Amino acid sequence: MEDILELNVGGRVFVTTRATLCAEQGSMLATMFDPDSSFASPKELRGAIFIDRDPRSFEFILDYLRRGCRLVSKIPDYLVDYLKDDADYFGLVALKQVCANYQPHKKEEGTKKMNYKIVHLYDANDLVEDSNWEYHESIPQYKMKGSPLNPKVVLRKME
């Protein structure tokens, strides 16, 4: 069962083995890719098996399956709900439970919050001289026909 498969998940290509996709027995993925299953053959798109799901969460699902159904990677906070939904869709019960019990990342002690402000260049000097704002970067400007060139900069403030 070591067939190498190419998957197109939401437009992103993944390459893995059939054994990896079948790692969690009883899951929809295991059923889909079990050669002895009566499950309908997956659709192909340009030679890759097409799965219409979010590729960002599928990356974590594939890593989970490759590591013996253990989640090793940190899940970005914004992705937890997507991953939980896709774990439910694919019948990955343990992964769904991990997502359900997930606690958002805590900001490390001593980490300073950064605020940014985009201003016109001629306003920047006033802000920098009169406050805690400091120069961060310039934004390139392109003059369009009939419009004045208003250079801008990005300022940042440490809190």
> How confident is the model over 33-63, as pLDDT tens digits?
988 888 766 777 778 899 999 999 999 999 9
pLDDT tens for residues 117-158?
555 555 445 555 556 656 555 554 444 444 445 555 555 555
Lowest mean pLDDT among 67-76, 82-91, 97-106: 97-106
Dist. CA 69–CA 85, nearest whole Å: 17
| Averaged pLDDT score across all residues of the chain | 77
Q: How far is CA 13 from the centre of its chain?
A: 15
Dist. CA 9–CA 25, nearest whole Å: 21
Are 61 and 24 spatial neighbours (Cβ–Cβ below 8 Å)? no
pLDDT score at 57: 94
| Residue 10 structure tokens | 């939401």
Q: Taking the model in full, what pTM does it have?
A: 0.63
Dist. CA 10–CA 82, nearest whole Å: 13
Higher pLDDT, 103 or 131: 103
Measured distance between the N- and C-terminal CA atoms of the chain, rounded to whole angstroms:
56
